[in-house]
Structure 1
Amino acid sequence: MKTPSRLSTVLHGLLHMAGQVEPMTSETLAQCLHTHPVVVRRSMASLRQAGLVHSLRGHGGGWSLARPLSAISLRDVYAALQETLSVKVDIGAPHAQCLVEQAVTRVLADAYLEAEALLVARLGEISLQALLLDIGNGAPFIAGGPPPAGLLAHPPTPS
């Protein structure tokens, strides 16, 4: 994949799936995501185990969402993929002999853990529905028209 994180790629795929009435094959998703179908199947298998997607084999089969968009948070997807914060840099050997290196390693490791906790908490506040509604601020839906009726379990209330 072109991105360093599977999260953004999988979110992209899930939003394409949301605009479809029929399940999407791994091949079709792979075309949307500019990757290989095997990569799609691996990622989707993790999401299936977490109860976020369904799969159906055979003719007419493919992947579909298992829950309404409003019931899937970005944290759900992040957890299913077992992602970790991708901005980590080499912070030194964990058993270094140098006391300075040990201190630097310990402080940076703690900072990365805190940053990841903040990221995970924020991802829990964002649903796929909110992400979909943010696309182009109301531009035509990714599949070429508005989302199918009932796709959004709780439509936004006008403000």
Structure 2
Amino acid sequence: MKKDSRLSSMLHVLLHIAQSERPLTSAELAAYLQTDPAVVRRTLSGLRELGYVSSAKGHGGGWTLTCDLARVTLRDVYEAVGAPEVFALGHRSEAPRCLVEQAVNATLDDAFREAEALLVRRLGEVTLADLAADFGRRLAARGHRRIRHAH
């Protein structure tokens, strides 16, 4: 099963936008993710509707941040990209007649709910500013002073 990387991808893109001194085009952002610009535009459009980013067409246009990094959490972005399923695990049967399988499903449901709640709560504790600061520390540790870095 393919993993859903929308959250990771959008966090990656948002940090690139935050570090840039100019608007970044969908093509530039797509190159960072090794994907198609249409995928970037489609996903960022949801973030634009929530006021996190804006875009401008034409020469000098592109995507810019319109939010305060310290006020937007990873949970906000997770929800903005559609709150994808956290686990690929599931039940063998959703409506089993077997009492053993019913017991298994009930126990797994409880565990899945608890784990998902813990993850979503943790996402709500980390801001985009926290991510940007971590990137800054990593960049400084490599001796780089410029914002541009290798992928």
Measured against the shorter chain, the TM-score band is: 0.7 to 0.9
Aligned to 1:19: 19
Aligned to 1:133: 133
1:1-159 equivalence runs, <5 A: 4-135=4-135, 137=137, 139=140, 140=144, 143-144=147-148
Partners of 2:19 and 2:109 lie apart in 1 by: 40
Q: Deviations over 1:12-39 (max 9, x none)?
A: 1110000112221111100011111111
Report how many residues are paired: 144
Contact 1:51 1:66 in 2 (8 A): yes
Distance 1:27 1:73, change over 3 A: same
Q: Output the TM-score relative to the length of structure 2.
A: 0.84
Structure 2 counterpart SS, 1:70: coil
Partners of 1:69 and 1:136 lie apart in 2 by: 14
Q: Deviations over 1:112-147 (max 9, x none)?
A: 1211111111111111111111126252467339xx
Distance 1:85 1:17, change over 3 A: same
Structure 2 counterpart SS, 1:75: helix
Partners of 1:31 and 1:10 lie apart in 2 by: 13
Structure 1 counterpart SS, 2:70: helix
- Give 5+ residue unaligned stretches, structure 2: none
Q: Return the offset for 1:87.
A: 2.8
Partners of 1:142 and 1:11 lie apart in 2 by: 20
Counterpart code for 1:120: V
- Percent of paired sites with the same residue: 47
Distance 1:30 1:110, change over 3 A: same
- Give 5+ residue unaligned stretches, structure 1: 146-159
Q: Output the TM-score relative to the length of structure 1.
A: 0.80
Contact 2:4 2:84 in 1 (8 A): no
Partners of 1:127 and 1:142 lie apart in 2 by: 23
Give the root-mean-square deviation of aligned CA atoms: 2.1
